[in-house]
Amino acid sequence: MPPWTTRWPSASSALFPSLCRAHGIIAGSTSLGVLGAVARLVPVAVRDVGGVLDRPGQPFHDPTADRALKHTASVEFVVSSGRDGGKGTVEFDELAMRALPPQDDSPLKPASVSASSSLPDSPANAAVDGDRQTAWRSDAQKAGEQRFDIDLGKPRELSGIVVHWHHGERATSWQIEQSLDGKAWHSCGGALARSGDTTFAEVCQAGGDARYLRMRLYKGESNTFGIDEIEIKDPAWAATRNAFFGNVAKAAPRGAYPRGFVEQPYWTIVGVDGGSAPALISEDGAIEPRKGGWSIEPFLIVDAARLTWADVTATQSLLDGYLPMPRVQWNTAKLALSIDAFAQGSRAAPQLVARYRVRNLTDAPVDATLQLAIRPFQVNPPAQFLNSPGGVAHVQSLLEAIAARGIAILLVEQKLTIALAISHRLYVMGQGRIVFEGTAHALQESEAVRREWLEV
């Protein structure tokens, strides 16, 4: 264990998810106006909750062995005015109660699949047979967009899919759609991650359920598409962004994601005496400059190989053994990387200083590059709570602050909303060539470019 302090996660229980499923559902259209704004109330479900919801504002009581909701005396809607107050009106329209089917916890397995084209020895069902040695492959004679449809047999709750692409036939531009009836489709998708030939994707939910999934495949690594296997994931798999990236990190090579997503990490604080919101530095040298924000994670490129925290021997120390200036040192066969962090300035205006130094441990030249990546992950891990959730963070505010100062940056970003909000000029690259060049407004107006290259 490094000679630093750590914060252990406090005990907690998943109370709220247990109150979010139902044998009955409140549905309908509701308009809410507060200070001129309009919001929508979405359907809410409560299932398998023991006891009775009695008077407004009173908790569930009288739990019994039979945990089915037998009676509801009243339903209360609470409209909060928010931190800054406000006023407005609430209007309800077509409020109704309808029964939901019993909760289904059976495995999420497709009842049937189909594809717009297939090779004779690589049918669509080969992608869902549980065998990674078989694959669906599209027919090269039927070029253009391909579709792969999945029917779950009935509406089911799901949170994502994992696609194991056939090597060399991965889709580089694609989109997920879902439907309850196979007629009305809407595009969906959230966080996306890739590790080699495997893609992890969140799937949005319409009212919580979907029966049909459709993958629209536009462009790929070759003129054909191939899928070894598709996994349909249950609601818990991507219930939160931390859950999603935790599952991705466990499947990815060790070191591809911060240690906190795969095991308990250690860290210490860096800040001025009495200052608020000190920075954090992890046992692996990642630095979180601002509480709850992004982190700076180091990597070494040595002889064209990328080294992460999992590929080195790391040691931790304090200057002179006791001064509040932590150091992390990476040791490899050829190089040593030292990372020093300390704070300076006043309580009202503290500054964080970080120093990175790479030393050659051999007598021969070494081709090496220090790579510092700003990542959307906190040093504070998902399992810990420092008055705010750890794990996933956001980098958009940082990029907006840099842009507001007039500093030119080259932003390589797959999330279109961030690029459109920050960039003055955009370039879209597809298969190694520039397929669009222009302003953010011009890209928004170009439906063909967005559909062809940006919709995933």
Concatenated DSSP letters for 348-371?
SSEEEEEEEEEEE-SSS---EEEE
Amino acid at the residue 252: A
pLDDT-derived band at 73 (thresholds 50, 70, 90) equals confident
User: Tell me, what DSSP letter sits at residue 2?
Assistant: -
267 within 8 A of 280, measured Cβ to Cβ: yes
C-alpha 109/C-alpha 213 separation (Å) is 12
C-alpha 396/C-alpha 12 separation (Å) is 30
pLDDT of residue 33: 30
pLDDT-derived band at 35 (thresholds 50, 70, 90) equals very low
Q: What is the pLDDT of residues 129-183, one digit of tens each?
A: 999 999 999 999 988 899 999 999 999 989 999 999 999 999 998 989 999 999 9
pLDDT of residue 10: 31
Q: How far apart are the first and last CA of the chain?
A: 43
pLDDT-derived band at 325 (thresholds 50, 70, 90) equals very high
pLDDT of residue 82: 66
pLDDT of residue 34: 31
Tell me what percent of the residues of the chain surpass a pLDDT of 90. Answer: 48
Task: Answer yes or no: is pLDDT of 31 > 70.
Answer: no
Residue scoring higher pLDDT (13 or 222): 222
**Quick one: CA dihedral 199, 200, 205, 208, positive or negative?**
positive
C-alpha 182/C-alpha 264 separation (Å) is 44
Q: Nearest Cα to 123, choosing from 132, 113, 134, 136?
A: 136
pLDDT of residue 432: 65
Q: What is the pLDDT of residues 328-363, one digit of tens each?
A: 999 999 999 999 999 999 988 899 999 999 999 999
pLDDT-derived band at 13 (thresholds 50, 70, 90) equals very low
Residue scoring higher pLDDT (402 or 366): 366
The owner of tokens 């229980």 is 13
Tell me what percent of the residues of the chain surpass a pLDDT of 70. Answer: 81
pLDDT-derived band at 20 (thresholds 50, 70, 90) equals very low
pLDDT-derived band at 39 (thresholds 50, 70, 90) equals very low
- Using DSSP's 3-state secondary structure scheme, residue 454 falls into helix
Q: What is each CA distance from 166 to 156, 177, 192, 336, 431, in whole angstroms?
A: 27, 21, 18, 39, 18
Both tokens assigned to 353: 């200083």
Q: Nearest Cα to 236, choosing from 159, 292, 137?
A: 159
User: Tell me, what DSSP letter sits at residue 391?
Assistant: S
Written as one string, the DSSP assignment of 50-67 is -SBB-STTPPPB---S--
pLDDT of residue 18: 28
What does the H/E/C string look like for 181-205?
Answer: CCCCCEEECCCEEEECCEEEEECCC
Average pLDDT over residues 247-263: 96
C-alpha 313/C-alpha 411 separation (Å) is 32
Residue scoring higher pLDDT (118 or 15): 118
pLDDT of residue 19: 29
Average pLDDT over residues 409-415: 74
Average pLDDT, the chain: 81
* Strands ordered across the beta sheet of 186-188: 112-115, 146-156, 210-220, 171-179, 186-188
Q: What is the pLDDT of residues 380-402, one digit of tens each?
A: 999 988 778 899 998 877 888 88
Written as one string, the DSSP assignment of 168-183 is T--EEEEEEEEESSSS
What predicted TM-score, i.e. pTM, was given to this entire model?
0.73
Both tokens assigned to 374: 């700003």
Task: Answer yes or no: is pLDDT of 59 > 70.
Answer: no
Q: What is each CA distance from 451 to 117, 194, 420, 424, in whole angstroms?
A: 21, 21, 16, 21
User: Tell me, what DSSP letter sits at residue 287?
Assistant: E
pLDDT of residue 343: 93
Task: Answer yes or no: is pLDDT of 305 > 70.
Answer: yes
Both tokens assigned to 99: 């029964």
pLDDT of residue 64: 59
19 within 8 A of 38, measured Cβ to Cβ: no
> Which domains, ranges and CATH numbers included, belong to the chain?
16-99 (no CATH), 112-239 (2.60.120.260), 265-393 (no CATH), 398-454 (no CATH)
pLDDT of residue 90: 78
Q: Nearest Cα to 118, choosing from 227, 215, 221, 211?
A: 227
Task: Answer yes or no: is pLDDT of 440 > 80.
Answer: yes
Plot region of 75 (φ>0 → left; ψ -120 to 50 → alpha; else → beta) = beta
Task: Answer yes or no: is pLDDT of 296 > 50.
Answer: yes
pLDDT of residue 208: 64
Both tokens assigned to 392: 């996933």
Task: Answer yes or no: is pLDDT of 53 > 60.
Answer: no
Q: Nearest Cα to 170, choosing from 431, 436, 416?
A: 431
412 within 8 A of 429, measured Cβ to Cβ: no
User: Tell me, what DSSP letter sits at residue 338?
Assistant: E
What does the H/E/C string look like for 249-269?
Answer: HHHCCCCCCCHHHCCCCCEEE
